[in-house]
């Protein structure tokens, strides 16, 4: 999922994007049943995964590495934003 504003994001097929979006919506709906809403970090990761930047395994590894380095995840969402 590593990305910077200068990198080109590889396109994913519409079929793959639709599958990813369906999975995200399903997971979000299950969590909502338990009273949870997606955090800003989860929304940013979802957006990056939908854009084809990476997958959830890579995102989880990056969050852990970021948290170890910075002792929190403040700034992680901004550092992974595909809107910048």
C-alpha–C-alpha distance, residues 69 and 72, integer Å? 8
- Three-state SS string over the chain comes to CCCCCCCCCCCCCHHHHHHHHHHHHHHHHHHHHCCCCCCHHHHHHHHHHHHCCCCHHHHHHHHHHHHHHHCCCCCHHHHCCCCC
The per-residue pLDDT for range 41-58, each reduced to its tens digit, is 788 888 888 888 778 888
- The mean pLDDT value of the chain amounts to 79
**0.75 exceeded by the pTM?**
no
């Amino acid at each position: 999922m590593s990305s910077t504003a200068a990198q080109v994001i590889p396109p994913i097929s519409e079929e793959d994007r639709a599958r990813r979006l369906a999975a995200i919506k399903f997971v979000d709906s299950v969590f909502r049943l338990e009273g949870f809403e997606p955090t800003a970090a989860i929304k940013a990761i979802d957006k990056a995964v939908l854009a084809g930047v990476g997958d959830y395994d890579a995102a989880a590894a990056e969050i852990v590495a970021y948290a170890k380095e910075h002792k929190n995840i403040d700034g992680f969402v901004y550092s992974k934003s595909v809107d910048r």
